[in-house]
Structure 1
Amino acid sequence: MAQEIERKYLLKNDSFKADVRKEQRIIQGYLCSVPERTVRVRVKGDKGFLTIKGIGNESGASRYEWEKEITTAEAQELLKICEPGVIDKTRYLVDFQGMTFEVDEFYGDNLGLIVAEVELESETQAFVKPAWLGAEVTGDAKYYNSMLMKHPYTKW
């Protein structure tokens, strides 16, 4: 168990792709998507994961997170009983000025949405922002994956 501290941003453009270190397709669904506790099932590459997240703090930058690796077969079985709406995206890892940004490019009903997250040691940690980073959306619930499955980006 751990406290997750991260900030989320929209992107100005896709110039981040020139500096991608790794990319991986992710398919995920939610067994429970209420704000107080989300239970996520994810297939990430050739691995499966079960993740439980608590409600975010006032700023939306920090919340409880617990994750356990499960087999891909187990994840595929659990995806069958998830709430309607699947998140399909490619995650790119981009290193910049000593930080790793996780950039998610969405498909399906969220096609056209690209967001970047950066994990921090504290909510006040300073970091250099790459030129491709746009407006901050940390704490804006409509950008949470658990909300994107209910209210997809293409329907906004």
Structure 2
Amino acid sequence: MNEIERKFLVTTTEFLSESIRSNRIVQGYLNSNPERTVRIRIKETQGFITIKGKGNETGTTRFEWEKEIKITEAEQLLLLCEDGVIDKVRYEIPSGKHLYEVDVFEGDNKGLIIAEIELNDENESFEKPNWLGEEVTGDDRYYNASLSVSSYKNWK
């Protein structure tokens, strides 16, 4: 149940032409404490509850548990969430044997685009498309839970 993931800023929208799928995602946090986040997510017509633990020293690996719940339950739980609901469109882009998930944020995080790639091992090699920018793995500011509390629009 450990998730191994690396995050990057995205420098251009070139990834859009490579996308095989996109979904609108709305999510909120019942608990945004970095030690243990509890997230409620609606992805199109599906609801999910996710619990994530604190990341390791590099920020690439952390515990993650997720369960699908009824959309009506997710809608009700979103009403209980902390302020700062995240609204984004997620694009899926295949790259070699991996899949990048690129989040284009809306609302208070508009202008921020982050690519994530899940790996089987922290040291696994992977292709880096030309639209990838600076790596931000382990930078807490780029965690969705952090963005719900301190939105991108307030960084500047």
1:20-99 alignment to 2 at 5 Å?
A: 20-99=19-98
Q: CA deviation at 1:98?
A: 1.8
Aligned counterparts of 1:97 and 1:40: Cα–Cα separation in 2: 30
Distance 1:36 1:115 in 2: 22
Q: Secondary structure at the match of 1:59?
A: coil
Query: Which letter does structure 2 place at the counterpart of 1:47?
Result: Q
1:16 alignment partner, SS class: helix
Name 1:15's counterpart in structure 2.
14
SS of 2:122's equivalent in the other structure is coil
% identical aligned pairs? 54
- Normalising by structure 1, what TM-score? 0.98
Where does residue 112 of structure 2 map in the other structure?
Answer: 113
Q: By how many angstroms is 1:128 displaced?
A: 1.2
Q: SS of the counterpart of 2:133?
A: strand
Counterpart residue type for residue 6 of structure 1:
E
Aligned CA-pair RMSD: 0.4
- The aligned amino acid for 2:72 is A
Which ranges of 4 or more aligned residues in structure 1 deviate by more than 2 Å?
none
The CA deviation at 1:48 is 0.1
Report deviation, 1:12.
1.2
For structure 2, list consecutive stretches of 5 or more residues without a partner in the other structure. none
Unaligned residue ranges in structure 1 (runs of 5+):
none
For residue 127 of structure 1, what is the aligned residue in structure 2? 126
Rounded to whole Å, the distance in 1 between the matches of 2:154 and 2:99 is 30
SS at match of 1:74: helix
Task: Report the CA distance between 1:106 and its aligned residue.
Answer: 0.2
Cα distance in 2 for partners of 1:98, 1:59 equals: 23
- Over residues 95-121 of structure 1, what are the superposed CA-to-partner deviations in whole Å (9 max), with x where a residue is unaligned? 012210000000000000000000000
Alignment-derived partner of residue 136 in structure 1: 135
Counterpart CA distance in 2 for 1:99 and 1:56 is: 22
